[in-house]
Structure 1
Amino acid sequence: MSFILAFAGSNSSTSINFELVKFTCSLIPTEEIRLMNMHNCPFPMYSMDYEKEHGYSNSLNELKRDIQFAKGIIISINEHNGYPSAYFKNLMDWLSRLDRDFIRDKKVMLMATSPGRRGAIGALEVSASMLKRFGADIVGTFSLPLFKENFDVERGILNTELANSHQLLVQDFLKVID
């Protein structure tokens, strides 16, 4: 069974990046998609002491397994102070401790959005670099600035130029994973 795994790098119950991921998934009706809401996936802050004492959680092992069996992965990264959130970095720390090659050779469509004009571009760049370090194949990136002005839950991306750019990335991603 092959599927696309999709999630946001945020554990917020009101994540705008999760909204972007959900919208992106709605544009791919021909594929099985496993959409994960990371709000339901709490992970303790990584430390070697905690790892030694408690090992790896079942949910971490399940996520690693889903990543390894997915034919493609869609991630939208949130930004805090110009960098990926502590939650996303923590998730990468846990996954890389469980298996350094957890995302090796996986095709990844990487996105980011924020309420600001930069569209979380700092977090997007740092995350792309981090994921490449673990062997991910970043198919492309997309940044959606000014989320509240450029996105509507019912209609999707409102800015025509951004919507076209996003759609092209989705098409490129689908070509690469098939």
Structure 2
Amino acid sequence: MKILAFGGSNAKDSINKTLAGFAAKQFTGAEVEVLDLNDFEMPLFSTDREKHEGIPTVALRFAEKVDAADLLIISLAEHNSTYTVAFKNVFDWISRIKDRKHFGEKPVFLLATAPGPGGGKNVVAAFEARAPFSGANILQSFTLPKFKESFDAEQGIVNAEKKAEFEEKLSVVKNFFG
């Protein structure tokens, strides 16, 4: 099984990239690739730019990685209750690739975390509403509030209640693949 994981942030020390990588490591024997959105930086999407310059090569490369995966693990950062500009720009560019749903009709384990008590719940709700139109089959979603208190780099999720919730949802995702 091939897993593509990424955090929806361009922060160098993205807590969402950390959470996505942690989740991906829970799939024993899987081939895992954790992307950094900084490697997919491209001009801000505009229809004028698309008309004159076409779709950036990095957007096509991102789409190829999505297409090669069996499971996407996406952990969305939340800026002002919605997607970060970094994620939204990749999302916008891949939406312009002819004859494709943005996320290739792939199963998705949707995550979010934040330093505060909301844990990214608004961005998860926004993506869950958009997913059916964007080729993302969300199997489960999970939010982790208060990241610095709830997560340890070596132990993973240390909040007992959230750990149990994560493990239950992880089990559902694993069972989807048999």
Shorter chain as denominator, the TM-score bin is: over 0.9
CA distance in 1, matches of 2:105, 2:29: 23
Matching of residues 81-120 of structure 1 within 5 Å? 81-99=80-98, 100-120=100-120
1:23 aligned partner: 22
Compute the displacement of 1:104 (Å).
4.1
CA contact (8 A) 1:72 1:177 kept: no
Give the partner amino acid of 2:31: E
TM-score (norm 2): 0.93
Q: Secondary structure at the match of 1:17?
A: helix
CA contact (8 A) 1:107 1:177 kept: no
Structure 1 unaligned blocks of 5 or more? none
2:163 aligned partner: 163
CA contact (8 A) 2:37 2:86 kept: no
- CA deviation string 1:80-114 (max 9, x = no partner): 11111122111111111114413243100000000
Of residues 117-126 and 86-95 in structure 1, the stretch that sits farther from structure 2 once superposed is: 86-95
Give the partner amino acid of 2:118: R
1:128 aligned partner: 128
Q: Secondary structure at the match of 1:83?
A: coil
Question: Number of residues paired by the alignment?
Answer: 177
CA contact (8 A) 2:111 2:142 kept: yes
CA distance in 2, matches of 1:162, 1:146: 11
TM-score (norm 1): 0.93
1:7 aligned partner: 6
- CA deviation string 1:12-67 (max 9, x = no partner): 10111011111112212221111111122212110011112221222211211121
Structure 2 unaligned blocks of 5 or more? none
Q: Secondary structure at the match of 2:33?
A: strand
CA RMSD of aligned residues (A): 1.4
Give the partner amino acid of 1:121: K
CA distance in 2, matches of 1:83, 1:17: 14
Identity %: 33
1:39 aligned partner: 38
